[in-house]
Structures are given as C-alpha cells and as structure tokens.
C-alpha cells in the first residue's frame, strides 16, 4: 500500500465514524452510507477498479469517472440542502409570525400620544 491510500482510508473511516455516531438517520440512509463507504474503500484499495469501471462505461480514466460522479453527488446534495434550508426558513417564519401576532399592540386609544 502507498502512503496516500492510508491517508484516504483514515479520512474515510473518520467520516463514516462521525456519520454513524453523530447523525441519527433512517435505515435506508444508513444502508446507502454503508454501500458508498464500501465502494470508496474498494476504490482506494484497488485503484484499478475505477479504471475498469470507467472503461466499461466508455470514460477514458478512472479519475474522470470518479470526478463526474462526485460532481453529480455534490450538486444533488446542494439541492437537498437548499430544500432543507427553505423548510427551516418557512418554519422560522411561521414561528416569528405567531409570536409577533401574539404580542401585537392592538389599536388602543388610551396609548396614543400623538393625535392623528
């Protein structure tokens, strides 16, 4: 094994550990994460497997295939995060609105300092 392979495996193991310890998620997500991690580990331990997959799909180099897939995955994650962020924003808006209406100063003429 080359040094870079140890390094990549260590990073992968760290990421997987954080995912399983810190993030509670559904079984389907966990299965997907396990599958992807195994795939990544295989790619690190046997780099020629990426080249083989690339050639099978008609891509020149294994690195290119990995890059295309990463770009695709990142874009997908970006959309996912954007949707999540919008949902959070909408929840916050509803919360702020409820609070604001609850604490509203309704028109009360005894409080008027300046006549209209």
List residues binding other proteins (CB under 8 A).
79, 82-83, 86, 89-90, 92-93, 96-97, 99-101, 103-107, 109, 111-114, 116
Query: Nearer to other proteins by C-beta: 45 or 79?
Result: 79
Round to the nearest angstrom and report the end-to-end CA distance of the chain. 83
Query: Nearer to other proteins by C-beta: 22 or 114?
Result: 114
Pseudo-torsion of CA 37, 41, 42, 46, nearest 10°?
160
Say if residues 111 and 105 touch (Cβ distance below 8 Å). yes
Closest approach of other proteins to the CB of residue 96, in Å: 5
Closest approach of other proteins to the CB of residue 73, in Å: 17
By C-alpha distance, which of 81, 55, 54 is closest to 69? 54
Closest approach of other proteins to the CB of residue 68, in Å: 22
* Encoded tokens for 101: 């209406």
């Amino acid at each position: 094994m080359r040094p870079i392979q140890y390094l990549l495996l260590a990073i992968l193991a760290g990421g997987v550990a954080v995912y399983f310890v810190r993030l509670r998620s559904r079984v389907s997500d966990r299965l997907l994460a396990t599958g992807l991690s195994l795939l990544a580990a295989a790619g690190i331990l046997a780099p020629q497997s990426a080249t083989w997959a690339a050639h099978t799909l008609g891509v020149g180099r294994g690195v290119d295939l990995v890059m295309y897939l990463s770009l695709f995955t990142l874009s997908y994650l970006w959309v996912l995060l954007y949707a999540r962020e919008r949902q959070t924003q909408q929840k916050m808006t509803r919360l702020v609105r409820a609070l604001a209406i609850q604490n509203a100063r309704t028109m009360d003429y005894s409080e008027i300092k300046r006549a209209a």
